[in-house]
């Protein structure tokens, strides 16, 4: 199925959730032994964290202190009215796909939503997240099917932050980053694959590195097709 025109994001939320699930089902059976793929909520994850169950331990708790008496009616007062009450903050419901080995997250696959780049603060937040993956040695695959805003691309922003001279790569796009060994001039070697996406054309196969020598060639086209079909976009 060719890539849809996502200038109008209606229906995107359903496709996003289904696409992440399809990618998980595609990646899990293809991982080498000792690797594990899982879906997590981006705000709750940090590089090096893991959602493996923690070891259980038994502790002896001290007796609880006696309960305090309930407050007297005269002490209970309503909170004063605020000067202003507006809706500004919300938890980001977006999820991403992570690969871990030895209790350490080593690769991330993120499908970018419009909310990731619809305002300067969002672009700064997610750019810092993507850079944070690489700075901690984790590989990254980004997929962005949304061309707006026209003057911004995470691929270009990452190139600027990494001080790498690359031609412009506007969205929609897919970009993969492999963090390698230390470079002779300092820092780490970064291998980069960037592919423009075209509305009406099939999506490419993109690498998801697991280490310098091993990686998966992720089938974006077939997983997108199944997600779009599940969201009744066919």
Both structure tokens of 192: 């980069």
Q: Give the confidence band of 74 by pLDDT, cuts at 50, 70, 90.
A: low
Considering the entire predicted model, what is its pTM?
0.79
Name the fold adopted by 12-49+92-230: tt1808, chain A (3.90.1570)
Both structure tokens of 164: 């790498």
Q: What is the pLDDT of residue 188?
A: 84
pLDDT, mean over the chain: 84
Phi, psi of 43 (to 5 degrees): -65, -25
Residue at token pair 């419009």: 114
Sheet holding 188-196, edge to edge: 35-41, 95-101, 104-111, 139-144, 173-182, 188-196
Answer yes or no: is pLDDT of 168 > 80.
yes
Q: What is the pLDDT of residue 211?
A: 94
Q: Give the confidence band of 94 by pLDDT, cuts at 50, 70, 90.
A: confident
Answer yes or no: is pLDDT of 129 > 80.
yes
Answer yes or no: is pLDDT of 232 > 90.
no
Determine contact, residues 218/26, Cβ cutoff 8 Å.
Answer: yes
Segments making up each domain of the chain, as ranges:
12-49+92-230
**Cα separations in angstroms, 131 against 47, 101, 106, 155, 159:** 11, 20, 14, 11, 10
């Amino acid at each position: 199925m060719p890539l849809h025109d996502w200038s109008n994001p209606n229906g995107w939320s359903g496709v996003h959730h289904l696409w992440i699930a399809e990618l998980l089902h595609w990646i899990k059976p293809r991982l080498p032994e000792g690797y594990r793929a899982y879906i997590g909520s981006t705000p709750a994850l940090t590089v090096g964290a893991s959602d493996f169950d923690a070891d259980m331990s038994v502790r002896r708790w001290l007796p609880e202190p006696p309960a305090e008496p309930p407050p007297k009616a005269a002490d209970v007062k309503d909170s004063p009215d605020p000067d202003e009450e507006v809706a500004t903050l919300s938890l980001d419901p977006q999820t991403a796909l992570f690969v871990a080995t030895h209790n350490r997250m080593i690769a991330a696959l993120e499908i970018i939503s419009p909310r990731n780049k619809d305002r300067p603060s969002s672009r700064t937040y997610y750019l810092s997240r993507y850079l944070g993956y690489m700075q901690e040695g984790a590989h990254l695959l980004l997929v962005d099917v949304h061309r707006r805003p026209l003057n911004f691309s995470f691929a270009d922003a990452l190139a600027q932050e990494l001080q790498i001279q690359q031609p412009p790569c506007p969205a929609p796009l897919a970009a993969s980053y492999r963090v390698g060994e230390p470079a002779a001039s300092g820092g780490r070697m970064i291998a980069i694959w960037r592919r423009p996406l075209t509305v009406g054309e099939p999506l490419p196969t993109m690498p998801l590195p697991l280490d310098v020598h091993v990686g998966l060639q992720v089938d974006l086209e077939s997983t997108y097709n199944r997600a779009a079909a599940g969201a009744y976009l066919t």
